[in-house]
Structure 1
Amino acid sequence: MLSLIVFLPLAAAVVLAVVPASVGGRMFTGSWVAVAAADLALVVAAWLGYDAGGGMAYEQQLRWIPSAGASYHVGLDGLSLPMVAVTSGLFLACAIHSLRQPHRVKSFVLLFLFLQTVSLGLFTALDLILFFVYFDLSIVGMYFVIARWGHGQARQSALKFFLYTFIGSLALLLGFIGLYLAAEPHTFDIVALSRANPLAGSGTYGALVLLAVGIGLAVKTPTVPFHTWLPPAHTDAPAAGSAILAGVLLKMGTYGFVRIAMPLLPATWRQYAGVVVIIGVVSVLYGALVALAQEDFKRMIAYTSVNHMGYIILAVGAAGIVAGSDEQARSLAITGAVTQMVSHGLLTGALFLLAGVLHDRRRSYDMSTYSGLAGPAPVFAGVTAVAVFASLGLPGFSGFIAEFQIFTGSLSSATVATALALLGILITAGLLLRALHRVFLGPLRIPDAPGAARDFTDLRPSEAASIMPLLAIAVVIGVLPRFLLNVIEPASTTLIEMVAR
């Protein structure tokens, strides 16, 4: 079943590849919606059949490269299942949002179906080489999304994104080889490596392996100072590309910390957890402060992603500080980090799709050229307001559940850092509310754009149908989070036990 979930989009892409583009774009986008909906239904079935207390489920292992100790090994647990679910949901939202895609529709759909398989494959991978293959293929797929369907300086932004993240992936590969060489017998299997703990007491060697793995994952996340590729990539990408980049691809970095760095390098992680905490706090504050200075709505959201990813890095770092903290608090921090991955995927994905509405209508993200949009577009204004309040962590939304757990779990082991990170919430609240006020309130003002319509129209049905369900799920998590936490908490406890070895 798990392989079907992963490869269904790719199989659909292969079938659609032989269909001539002359049949019309609606056939391709409609097929994409149908495939994404079917894949999400399979994920829901897998969720309903998952036993949270049973550890790894739907596990499958096949020989792949036996001479190198690599295999096709996949499975789901409480860390990966939520990411698979949010990935499937976001790709369906982007498929619906792209029903009006006007340019090169066939190749656009095929590329996103490829990206969906790559993304789902990474979150299910239990082999380091398999993880790396998906990690690298995601870079290639997103490069073409930005370069071919982006706007502004899309090609330069795509090239910067590719070079940064590809160099990071090379560092990641070096770290994986270091783990492979340390294991006896040599293997890339994540489950086997986590049991063997091959770098226990390795000192400098373990530190170098963690550095390589950490750099590769930090570039993808991204954390300060490896974040500079993110704002231009988001600004120039199409709306669906930005939603997948923020909601899915960034999580490949943070997911890698909890799937690979922490369980496979527990002693080294504990030794350098304080450094990770500092990097997390710097990312929180820097991302919020730079976002505050932005005039470009989409660029502002991009920097808030640096801020929100910083909370996850803070949590995973605090979970590695064993002295002066208890196991329950550290487990709570990990639970909050995974919940934040889900929440950020939903909310920031929705915000980027909403930003795409601005560009679709008037070809501009410049907030200084807009005001009073609540008049001609009340639904757009209302939905954006909900997304903004959810993103700043208001109670009743998923962001509050995630951040509350992160701060509560991190406070005992990283008190000063957690207190400083709280300032990020205040800054983020200020910048998002200011943007909301500038764009939607006051007298009506919209920029002139060649080829744009005279009026600013409200959300279209396809736009509303893609964005509103994401916000509805965020509300469900904020009000009734147990269905999600029941899945994450047992896996978080197991992870903390591994780190404490």
Structure 2
Amino acid sequence: MDSMILTFVTFIPAVGAVLLMLMPRNDKIIRWAALLISLLAFAFSLYLPVHFQNGTSGFQFQVDTRWIGDIHYRLGADGISMWLVLLTTFLVPLSVLVSWKSVHDRVKEFFVLLLLLETAMIGVFLALDMFLFYVFWEATLIPMALLIGMYGHERRIYAAVKFFLYTMVASVFMLAAIIWLYIHAGSFDYTAIQEWLGRPGHPPADVLQWLFLGFFIAFAVKVPLFPLHTWLPDAHVEAPTAGSVLLAGVLLKMGTYGLLRFNVGLFPDQAHHNASWINVLAIIGIIYGALVALVQPNLKKLIAYSSVSHLGFVVLGIFTFTQIGIDGAVYQMLNHGVSTGALFMLAGMLYERKHTYEFGEFGGLATPMPIYATFFLIAVLSSVGLPLLNGFVGEFLVLSGAFQYKMLYGILGCSGVIWSAAYLLWMYQKVFYGPIQHQENRALRDIDLREQLSLWPVTVMALVMGVVSPYWMKAIDPAVAAVNKKAVNAKIEIQKPLNVSENRQ
């Protein structure tokens, strides 16, 4: 079972998508089938933490089969990728539930795209062959772009094209780096390339720098890291609710996962050498995202800019090169998926009732919608980082690592936490408190049982992850130590420029 479990988890959604295409066009049956398929994938993914050997840093549940020439179908999970796979399979059934009534046209195509997207996202986190990783990486673009372009709002085509072009062009740099590595290392295998790059004397430092940047550009756009973030607000505002949940909850984590796995894992010297300006961009993103969120008149756009700010914390944690900082970065990836996924689900439920995200149309909604207001408050406090909720743990660990790395980064990061509380609590006040400005809002119905069922899992998870974080850390800790080991031991002196001539000798 161990050798097949990753294949099952990865391809159950894709096989389910094919079955959906063959089914008659009955919307009710399609919805139930999509939900059952996504729940089946989640059930299989639960095998991973149950049978995972904590305390070990290597990849587990591996499968390795020759595919095309030197390209292998090789999958494996460590303590980082395993939890990101669980996050993916956890959010997809909830995305199906929140789309139950909001998607009316081309229902079959919608859920087919959703399931194909799930397979591609899982594949990104599990692929250990770099060409296979690139295939899965690019495979996420088409279903997400179609979800935005076919099922989004007024400017959906513009947002879909912008999303597609940004990420596609950035991925070309990564492809060039992968091909160069294959030509010179003779393999697409991640561990083989890591060993080859670890040999002293080759490739030269200037080449390593270009390879580092090739991967970095692709991942920085996906995060997105300031100033490469401009595609994200448009994509979020125009996307359907399920698209926003998976975009914020999973797709953005592909970027931070790539930075950790490839930029730090393969190029530790270059990661150290470039850390200063990368951390500056992360800090700018934290503060800029928070300040721009604070002046947004649109609920969904505010949540989108909050992602720019929160993912800045993840990047900062990764490039502190401290165990506690990177632990926090990985945990914050999971936290952000849960908390921001919940916020986008809640925003979508409000849109179904009001058909707008503008704050001017809300106010005083706690009176007609008390249950909805309670769920929303928990999601907000989770994102703020209230102790005993999940957001606190990740931010605390990241900031601890930032203070260890450089005091100034820690101080500036703390200011981002303050601004985060400001815009999120301001958002909550604008929506739920004050007088009811529009009398028709008095008749708004509270969330029904189906909507509550989609919110209870993320709400419970926010509390559980805040209280029993050591459970997740048992697997994360050794994996982070293995990825970060070379970076910690990197010989480069950060204060000095790369000595290209010495590396060529």
TM range (shorter): over 0.9
| Corresponding position of 2:496 | none
Residue 138 of structure 1 aligns with an amino acid whose one-letter code is T
**Equivalent of residue 237 in structure 1, options 239, 247, 250:** 239
Pairing of 1:148-159 with structure 2 (within 5 A): 148-159=150-161
**SS of 1:61 mapped into structure 2:** strand
Coordinate RMSD, CA, aligned: 1.5
Counterpart contact for 1:297–1:366, Cα < 8 Å: yes
Per-residue deviation at 1:218? 0.4
When residues 447 and 108 of structure 1 are mapped into structure 2, their CA distance, relative to the original with a 3 A threshold, is farther
| Corresponding position of 1:363 | 355
**SS of 1:365 mapped into structure 2:** coil
| Corresponding position of 1:475 | 463
Q: In structure 2, how many angstroms separate the alpha carbons of the residues matched to 1:65 and 1:208? A: 27
Q: In structure 1, how many angstroms separate the alpha carbons of the residues matched to 2:143 and 2:392? A: 33
Per-residue deviation at 1:383? 0.5
| Corresponding position of 1:493 | 481
Pairing of 1:26-425 with structure 2 (within 5 A): 26-54=28-56, 55-66=58-69, 69-100=70-101, 101-183=103-185, 186-197=186-197, 202-319=204-321, 330-425=322-417
Q: In structure 1, how many angstroms separate the alpha carbons of the residues matched to 2:198 and 2:475? A: 29
Per-residue deviation at 1:447? 8.6
Number of aligned residue pairs: give it: 481
1:225-276 alpha-carbon deviations (Å, 9 max, x no partner):
1100000110010111100000010011000011111111111112111122
1:41-91 alpha-carbon deviations (Å, 9 max, x no partner):
11112210000223211001110122xx32111000011001000000000
Q: In structure 1, how many angstroms separate the alpha carbons of the residues matched to 2:320 and 2:407? A: 9
When residues 375 and 454 of structure 1 are mapped into structure 2, their CA distance, relative to the original with a 3 A threshold, is closer
| Corresponding position of 2:10 | 6
Given the two structures, how large is their TM-score scaled by the length of structure 2? 0.93
When residues 416 and 287 of structure 1 are mapped into structure 2, their CA distance, relative to the original with a 3 A threshold, is same
| Corresponding position of 1:438 | 430
| Corresponding position of 1:325 | none
Give ranges in structure 2 of 5+ residues lacking alignment. 491-505
Residue 231 of structure 1 aligns with an amino acid whose one-letter code is P
Q: In structure 2, how many angstroms separate the alpha carbons of the residues matched to 1:121 and 1:212? A: 21
Residue 385 of structure 1 aligns with an amino acid whose one-letter code is L
Residue 493 of structure 1 aligns with an amino acid whose one-letter code is A
1:423-481 alpha-carbon deviations (Å, 9 max, x no partner):
11111101110111111012223497xxxx98311112221111221121111010111
User: Does residue 16 of structure 1 match 2:20?
Assistant: yes
Give ranges in structure 1 of 5+ residues lacking alignment. 320-329
**SS of 2:472 mapped into structure 1:** helix
Larger mean CA deviation between 241-250 and 267-276 belongs to: 267-276
Q: In structure 1, how many angstroms separate the alpha carbons of the residues matched to 2:200 and 2:458? A: 42
1:177-214 alpha-carbon deviations (Å, 9 max, x no partner):
2332342xx11111211222258552111111111110
**Equivalent of residue 466 in structure 1, options 441, 454, 461:** 454
Counterpart contact for 2:41–2:89, Cα < 8 Å: yes
Counterpart contact for 2:55–2:474, Cα < 8 Å: no
Per-residue deviation at 1:139? 1.0
1:300-358 alpha-carbon deviations (Å, 9 max, x no partner):
00000000110011111111xxxxxxxxxx11111111100000001101100111012
1:17-62 alpha-carbon deviations (Å, 9 max, x no partner):
11121xx211111111111111111111221000022321100111
**Percent identical residues:** 35
Residue 476 of structure 1 aligns with an amino acid whose one-letter code is V
**SS of 2:413 mapped into structure 1:** helix
**SS of 1:375 mapped into structure 2:** coil
